[in-house]
């Protein structure tokens, strides 16, 4: 592989990594005097996945990417045109998808920090700010008189409950009931409502959640400017989308051109490429799963009245990336010994079935570890364990035996 190819891939990947880290850095810097970590944990699929798991995925996919580019540049007829056109298409498609995704419901980090800090709920003054600063948050036993809790208090209440439970699905209300059907008994049950800290029916809580969303929109429209995080979100989201499309395309392309990896030219790197592809695929599965942890938390705090493109296509992303990862698992286990290959593929099938059956439990666990209920310790544990195991496996070429198969075949013949 030429230095120019490696350098090109390295520059593209470094720009993507800078966009990931940069957006999270802007958010941390802007909200450093408020609870920035609570905002990051709530939107973990954006502020935690990309700078942590996204950067690790770029590291894992670096060698497969430049090997694939070398294959197209020197081995595939018309490959240079294919690569050029594909990159242009992805670069043009990314802003369009980013624009659609950016239309999701308003978020608390849309607001400027002083709005979050000074908000006193609804009606004005219903919540004592001094209690919040002292760490005394409202409880169901002492709900207070707020129709809508202050933004920070509601978020902290959500995080407090999330840390004690595996998932928050029990608190999600259906705010769009079918008007042609009788109201189900579940809708009439009184449950805790995070928007106003009261035990309420679904209709009452949905009204409070609507007040919460309306308040965010009202503050945003009254501000001369939105938060710096929101501005940079619009500017950098295209890089995030380009990354998702690019990684997905690299995986598909390597499967389609996998026969070239078996040639003598790539024999020395084949094992490392295949192990890194598997490592990156596992890392990428965190993104669609964290999308669902975010939607779960958002439904609990904001309600599900507001429709958004993100809410509609999140399940589609999950299905696509899970099938993509399973495809890579079957194709890129070739370099492993036959026994490990069969065990790994069988484990992939069983794991997929378990994930489908226990999807809510998995989302709940991730919500506690890397979502709204997470803390620095739980995130560090997940990153160290998952990242350490995967990167160690990706770097350990002794697990693979590139070139041995050919020698054995010759010896046998």
Amino acid 142: pLDDT: 62
Amino acid 139: pLDDT: 60
Q: Would you tell me the crossing angle of helices 270-284 and 286-301 to the nearest 10 degrees? A: 10
Which of 49-63, 71-85, 334-348 has the weakest average pLDDT?
Answer: 334-348
Amino acid 132: pLDDT: 45
305-321 burial, b at 16+ Cβ within 10 Å, e below that, comes to: ebebebbeebeebbeeb
Tokens representing 36? 């920035």
Amino acid 141: pLDDT: 60
Tokens representing 233? 């979100």
Mean pLDDT of 82-107: 87
The closest alpha carbon to 254, from 349, 340, 324, 322, belongs to: 324
pLDDT digits (tens, 9 = 90+) for 184-213: 888 888 888 998 888 889 999 999 999 998
Amino acid 224: pLDDT: 59
Tokens representing 30? 């802007």
Amino acid 329: pLDDT: 80
Partners of 122 in beta bridges: 148
What are the φ/ψ torsions at residue 200 (nearest 5 degrees)? Answer: -140, 165
pLDDT digits (tens, 9 = 90+) for 291-324: 999 999 999 998 887 777 788 888 899 989 988 9
- Rounded Cα distance between 290 and 46, Å, is 9
How big is the chain, counted in residues?
413
Label each residue of the chain as H, E or C: CCHHHHHHHHHHHHHHHHHHHHHHHHHHHHCCCCCHHHHHHHCHHHHCHHHHHHHHHHHHHHHHHHHHHHHHHHCCCCHHHHHHHHHHHHHHHHHHHHHHHCCCCCCHHHCCHHHHHHCCCECCCCCCHHHHHCCCCCECCECCCCCECCHHHHHHHHHHHHCCCCCCHHHCCCCCCCCCCCCCHHHHCCEEECCCCEEECHHHHHHHHHHHHHHHHHHHHHCCCCCHHHHHHHHHHHHHHHHHHHHHHHHHHHHHCHHHHCCHHHCCCHHHHHHHHHHHHHHHCHHHHHHHHHHHHHHHHCCCCCCCHHHHHHHHHHHHHHHHHHHHHHHCCCCCCHHHHHHHHHHHHHHHHHHHHCHHHHHHHHHHHHCCCCCHHHHHHHHHHHHHHHHHHHHCHHHCCCCHHHHHHHHHC
CB 299 within 8 A of CB 411: no
pLDDT digits (tens, 9 = 90+) for 95-125: 998 988 876 557 899 899 988 888 888 888 7
Tokens representing 311? 């809410």
Mean pLDDT of 348-370: 81
pLDDT digits (tens, 9 = 90+) for 234-285: 999 999 999 999 999 999 998 888 888 888 888 888 888 888 888 899 899 9
Residue of 195 and 397 predicted with greater confidence: 195
CA atoms within 13 A on the CB side of 130: 0
Q: Where are the domains of the chain?
A: 3-108+227-412, 119-222
Which of 3-12, 87-96, 263-272 has the weakest average pLDDT?
Answer: 263-272
In this prediction, residue 405 has a pLDDT band, given cuts at 50, 70 and 90, of very low
Amino acid 134: pLDDT: 40
Percent of the chain having pLDDT more than 90? 33
Mean pLDDT of 344-371: 79
Amino acid 407: pLDDT: 39
What are the φ/ψ torsions at residue 68 (nearest 5 degrees)? Answer: -60, -45
- Rounded Cα distance between 119 and 212, Å, is 12
pTM reported for the whole predicted model? 0.86
Answer whether residue 394 shows pLDDT above 70: no
Answer whether residue 16 shows pLDDT above 80: yes
Answer whether residue 411 shows pLDDT above 60: no
Q: In this structure, is the dihedral angle defined by the CA atoms of residues 46, 50, 52 and 54, taken in order, positive or negative?
A: positive
Amino acid 396: pLDDT: 54
């Amino acid at each position: 592989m030429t230095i120019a190819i490696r350098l090109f891939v390295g520059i593209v990947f470094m720009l993507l990594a800078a966009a990931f880290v940069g957006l999270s850095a802007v958010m941390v810097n802007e909200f450093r005097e408020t609870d920035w970590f609570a905002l990051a944990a709530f939107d973990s699929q954006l502020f935690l996945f990309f700078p942590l798991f996204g950067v690790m995925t770029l590291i894992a996919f670096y060698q497969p990417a430049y090997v694939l580019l070398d294959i197209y540049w020197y081995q595939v007829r018309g490959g240079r045109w294919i690569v050029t056109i594909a990159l242009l298409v992805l670069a043009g498609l990314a802003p369009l998808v980013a624009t659609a995704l950016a239309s999701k419901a308003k978020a608390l980090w849309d607001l400027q920090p002083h709005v979050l800090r000074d908000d006193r709920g609804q009606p004005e003054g219903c919540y004592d700010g001094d209690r919040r600063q002292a760490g005394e948050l409202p409880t169901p036993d002492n709900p207070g008189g707020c129709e809508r809790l202050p933004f920070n208090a509601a978020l902290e209440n959500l995080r407090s409950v999330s840390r004690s439970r595996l998932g928050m699905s029990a608190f999600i209300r259906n705010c769009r009931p079918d008007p042609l059907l009788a109201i189900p008994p579940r809708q009439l049950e009184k449950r805790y409502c995070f928007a106003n800290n009261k035990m309420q029916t679904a209709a009452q809580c949905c009204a409070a959640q609507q007040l919460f969303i309306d308040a965010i929109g009202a503050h945003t429209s009254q501000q001369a400017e939105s938060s710096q995080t929101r501005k940079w979100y619009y500017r950098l989201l295209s890089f995030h989308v380009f990354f998702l499309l690019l990684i997905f395309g690299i995986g598909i392309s390597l499967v389609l051109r996998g026969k070239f990896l078996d040639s003598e030219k790539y024999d020395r790197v084949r094992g490392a490429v295949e192990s890194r592809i598997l490592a990156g695929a596992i890392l990428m599965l965190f993104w669609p799963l964290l999308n669902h942890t975010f939607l779960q938390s958002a439904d609990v705090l904001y309600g599900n009245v507001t429709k958004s493109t993100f809410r509609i296509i999140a399940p589609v992303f999950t299905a696509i990336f899970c099938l993509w990862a399973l495809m890579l698992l079957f194709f890129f286990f070739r370099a492993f010994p036959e026994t490990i290959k069969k065990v790994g593929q069988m484990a992939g099938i069983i794991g997929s079935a378990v994930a489908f059956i226990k999807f809510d439990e998995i989302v709940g666990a991730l919500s506690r570890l890397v979502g709204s209920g997470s803390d620095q310790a739980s995130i560090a544990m997940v990153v160290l364990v998952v990242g350490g195991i995967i990167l160690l496996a990706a770097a350990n070429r002794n697990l693979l035996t590139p070139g041995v198969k050919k020698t054995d075949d010759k010896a046998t013949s």
